[in-house]
Amino acid sequence: MKILIISDSHGRKETLLKVIIRENPEKVFFLGDHISDIYEIEHHITADICAVKGNTDYNLKGLNDIFVNVYNKKFFLTHGHNYKVNYGYHRLSLKAQESEADYVFFGHTHIYSDFYENGIRFINPGSLSKPRDCNHGSYVIMEIDESNVKFIKKVLT
């Protein structure tokens, strides 16, 4: 199964749609900031959408955190602002441990990161529209089946 992990579109619906069409995932994990972007284009795509709200989505419907199980792996999706990820990952790590998550996907910082803490893998795909770590937006592709999980960072060109 191919899953697109993407965050922080900030109104760039056209770019979001182009990435989804190009990658043709079965699922999209959208990690907040302009959650309305993903729902405004959903009628153009066939992928299953799992989305959380970000700090700019305070007046919109949606959840701050969700847990998704795929092939007996537990994924924790959050934007990250409620866990103060700009100041470190301690609170996010505690929530992941408490929830017995295998993987954590978060956004908010607009900086790509991929690390392990306490046996849990944490991935921030960076920002689609306003990256702070390079000149191009980024996202992550996850390829998962019963026995393997593989992540590929992609950069918009």
30-16-106 Cα angle (round to 5)? 25
Would you say 115 and 104 are in contact if contact means Cβ atoms under 8 Å apart? no
What per-residue confidence (pLDDT) applies to 134? 80
- The neighbouring-strand residues paired with 113 are 124
Q: What is the DSSP letter of 135?
A: S
| Res. 131: pLDDT tops 90 | no
Q: Which two tokens stand for residue 57?
A: 């989505």
Q: What is the pLDDT of residues 55-112, one digit of tens each?
A: 999 889 999 999 999 999 999 999 999 999 999 999 999 999 999 999 999 999 999 9
DSSP 82: G
Among the listed residues 93, 98, 103, the one whose alpha carbon sits nearest the alpha carbon of residue 69: 103
Between CA 86 and CA 110 the distance in angstroms is 10
Residues in the chain: 157
pLDDT at 18: 96
- List pLDDT tens digits, range 4-48: 999 999 999 999 999 999 999 999 999 999 999 999 999 999 999
In angstroms, the CA 123 to CA 79 distance is: 11
Termini Cα distance of the chain: 25
Order of all β-strands in the sheet with 27-30: 48-51, 27-30, 2-6, 138-144, 149-155
pLDDT, residue 135, reads 82
CATH number, residue 55: 3.60.21.10
Domain tally, the chain: 1
- Per-residue confidence (pLDDT) for residue 58, from 0 to 100: 86
Could you tell me the residue range of the domain that residue 82 belongs to? 2-155
